[in-house]
């Protein structure tokens, strides 16, 4: 089985920035690929996903639970993902990606569930008056 | 109120529509006109996930949309009608005289299309069809978000 990779799918340059941040923090390169929907229709974004995913397996980390990045990612996975084993996570954040790059010896579905857990734990209110 | 926006956007329901246009228009319903999506439960679920529960989403084929357009125009709420390509817009306009304006919001590159604006790529045939619509009195402009200028058809066809 090929090594599990992550593909971040976002509006504008969010994905690119997240990849750079993960590399800056961990020093790990080549595990995450950034895909932007900039200038893309559905067809072009699907092609960008196909190129980024390759043979997989992969987790697609999408910025929003709705919209063109989300619908294209789910559609690509639903239509077979070019033969790659895929899972889709929405609401990508840096915390879940940092956890993901160190825990990739599991299936895409398990990695997706783990990423959601790690990402959610990082969202909290601090420093606000009680 | 009425259908405040008739939009051609190959991404159909996405952020620019729901947030960019939906918020300032105070949109309460979106009509997605697409023959394929109107017959696909999983694609409808997919598009519904991108819309807050306060906005109703109606899926329709071109024929269904043409039959119900007058009702949506008479709706007390504000709505947005979406189609995914120029051909669907023309098919609807040919069946429904209620279509008096058309916003080209996002038609992206594919083989045979050339860039007309940053967010509008058209084949010569698509450009000609839009000009024909305009000649029949439909107000055709290109505008991706409300804060941008509505570009007249003469500047992008």
Tens-digit pLDDT profile for residues A4-43: 999 999 999 999 999 999 999 999 999 999 999 998 888 8
User: Total structural domains in chain A?
Assistant: 1
Residue A81 lies in a domain: yes
The beta strand positions in B51-157, using DSSP E, are 56-60, 79-83, 101-106, 114-117, 120-122, 139-142, 151-152
First-to-last CA distance in chain B?
Answer: 31
The whole model's pTM is what? Answer: 0.84
pLDDT tens digits along B36-89:
999 999 999 989 988 989 999 999 999 999 999 999 999 999 999 999 999 999
Q: Return the pLDDT at A67.
A: 85
Interface residues of A toward B, Cβ cutoff 8 Å, are 11, 39-44, 64-68, 70-71, 74-75, 78
- HSE (CB half, 13 Å, CA atoms) of A129? 0
- In this complex, do B15 and A42 lie within 8 Å of one another by their Cβ atoms? no
Please state the CATH superfamily assignment of the domain spanning residues B100-157 in this structure: Phosphotransferase system, sorbose subfamily IIB component (3.40.35.10)
Residue A108 lies in a domain: no
Distance (Å, whole) CA A107 – CA A99:
15
B139: pLDDT strictly greater than 60: yes
Give me the residues of B, 77-136, that contact A with CB < 8 A: 84, 106-110, 118-119
Nearest CA in chain B to A11: B15
pLDDT tens digits along B81-138:
999 999 999 999 999 998 999 999 999 998 899 999 999 999 999 999 999 999 999 9
Class of domain B10-81: alpha beta
| Greater pLDDT, A90 or B2 | A90
Domain span at residue A82 reads 45-54+68-90
pLDDT classification of A82: cutoffs 50, 70, 90: confident
pLDDT classification of A129: cutoffs 50, 70, 90: confident
- Contact of A81 with A72, CB cutoff 8 Å: no
A-interface mutation test, from B9, B11, B48, most A Cβ less than 10 A away: B11
């Amino acid at each position: 089985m090929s090594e599990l990779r992550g593909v971040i799918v976002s509006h504008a340059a969010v994905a690119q920035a997240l990849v750079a941040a993960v590399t800056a923090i961990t020093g790990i390169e080549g595990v995450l690929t950034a895909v932007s929907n900039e200038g893309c229709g559905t067809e072009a974004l699907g092609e960008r996903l196909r190129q980024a995913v390759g043979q997989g397996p992969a987790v697609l980390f999408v910025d929003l639970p709705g919209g063109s990045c989300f619908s294209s990612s789910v559609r690509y996975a639903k239509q077979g993902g070019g033969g790659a084993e895929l899972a889709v996570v929405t609401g990508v954040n840096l915390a879940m990606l940092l956890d993901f790059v160190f825990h990739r010896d599991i299936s895409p579905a398990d990695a997706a569930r783990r990423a959601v857990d790690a990402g959610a734990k990082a969202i909290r209110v601090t420093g606000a008056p009680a | 109120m009425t259908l405040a926006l008739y939009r051609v956007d190959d991404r159909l329901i996405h952020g620019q529509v729901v947030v960019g246009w939906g918020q300032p228009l105070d949109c309460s319903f979106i009509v997605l006109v697409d023959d394929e999506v109107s017959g696909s439960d999983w694609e409808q679920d997919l598009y519904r996930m991108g819309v807050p529960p306060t906005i109703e989403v109606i899926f329709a084929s071109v024929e269904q949309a043409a039959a119900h357009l007058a009702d949506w125009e008479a709706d007390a709420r504000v709505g947005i009608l979406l189609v995914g390509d120029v051909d669907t817009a023309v098919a609807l306009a040919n069946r429904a005289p209620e279509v008096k304006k058309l916003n080209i919001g996002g038609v992206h590159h594919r083989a045979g299309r050339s860039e007309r604006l940053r967010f509008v790529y058209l084949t010569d045939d698509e450009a000609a069809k839009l000009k024909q619509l305009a000649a029949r009195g439909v107000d055709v402009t290109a505008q991706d978000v409300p804060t941008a200028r509505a570009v007249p058809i003469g500047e992008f066809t």
